[in-house]
Chains A and B, each alone.
Chain A
């Protein structure tokens, strides 16, 4: 917890850790790992702070004229300029915002820019981005999203193929799952397992066992 000394000595260290003299102090509630590679603190709770290039799932909450205000589950609201969607020649006189997005719509978006004194700007240009029209929304703690994705997407791909579902995972902790009912229910439970991951448990193995995996789609008979 904040203020705790994790280790003393000489280590490389990552986020949520402060070096005081030769001590490494935690700045956040989390699980610390100490190894020859360095010290890591995996936070257990915490908000989503937007970073440029992050892919997020957002919800339109207002359309004030020149773009859409998008709730990205963060302390800042995102903004999707109409010109990013309609093109450079956008004008409120000739283009109707509601033909693209209305309040309540969900989208996959990328944080295009996040400058001081302005809210993060979003873009929907890119593969897999844009309006999401079907699926079940599942919210999880943003600090646990990396575990859902896994190394180079290993976990999310495994879950997707073993449940026959399509998963859109936002770094902001919003996940949209589309597919057969039982598959969606299983994905919801996997997310729950990830959120409640006990220390030291082999999460990948547990998820694999739960989903009845072992064989991957397309592997040899």
Chain B
């Protein structure tokens, strides 16, 4: 009988844990949460921790290259460092940072109480965490992956890379892909189906639009890398010959598949940030976004065109002049919609009433640095000039202008802008400004010298270089710059710690915001909107506060803008919210077990992983939708 009473008490314990989860207090309430705001915070905090890891890797790389013949790390460790730096920053920092913003903002911006599939949303987060942890677990199993974030075959094939690092890399990315796909479907359904009454597509905030475009990109791009990774693992684990030329395979097949994913990926990283910029600039200029339809359509155009430019990563693989010319022209053309966005942002600032607070500074930093990234991109698209630049430090400089000068500056603009919404407190402005200037100076010190290094013939991914190449001073500058960036990140962290405790109270609408998220209290209650708003205009909340007077100048509404107040207890009790659930986490836990089984060819482990996943899905399917 003891065997019977045991499960009962476990169930009893589980029930208590479930109850705690429902109270919105304590660790269990976070682990079982399906609230989009909490999932967003989990995404953001996790991505920030990975940012620190990737940043430390970058600092080690810069220390190694600070002087010629550096010996801070060995060649093997160096190769692991740049592989992990690239993989981490792309898949574990910028993508999940974007996910954090999608989660935090999309339901609030469209006037919804949560995403369409809250448990799937939790599953996306946990799966992202598992993928990231699996990738890093490689360090414990004989060494991190060392084939570069692009993992070119046949260098990543078994004969040239017999360790487990590449397997961890491939399986980790596969799991991260599952997370991204689940999240992308979720946000497409949410945006298309859960908008508040009156929120037509062309009244949606641009950030929500860019989320939608990004989600479609993810769905269309991820399968290509999934196929490539499956093929690689079949080659490595079972001796298939997809990429092995000795047995009739094709090394270039990997590159095509990888870049059919890889180029849209660049826009997966940057479109959400363009959305953030399109929110910050109007608010801090007190003017609507200039040419909303142009900004939206150029975003969609970029998303479409991004699938037709992949071979510009392969100009030097010998595709021949016809293919190179065609991809050269398509790549040149993608600069057009990108330029349109820049010009529209400038026109948004022009004639505004610009508040130079931290979110605006970072947004301006984004424009100023991203434009270098775009223009250097044009110099790459010019095929003959790229024959020189391909795989040189000029490329490293270029994409850091896009992904750091662009994406990271934009992400910080978003953090400073929305931090008060989700914590109720403003970040300290003085520290924020210090952070901005340190980062801007550090960024330029680090990456502009790399542009020169590349043009002076320094290839990427080299663990060292001899004296007498004329590269010494520029490398030293870049290393100094990287430590200035590190300092700026420390300032930011200090700011968060200080401001969470003693920061100025934000109130619902500290920036005179334009979109719906500013109409509800900070931090928002679990149910977001006590009453689902009825939307009458683009920038609906602004129009509740101001009417356009003569000459197009806004006049404050006499009633002073109706912020939503906390409702009465009776009101709140009638709001239907999804219940917390542990099954998404259980499901996610099975994935790395399953993957580890394949990595070590231990099929019992594969079976165990499969059982955990199936148990998670089964419990998930049979779980009642709401607590009874």
- A and B form one complex: no
Interface residues of B (CB under 8 A from A): none
Task: List residues of A whose CB falls within 8 A of some B CB.
Answer: none
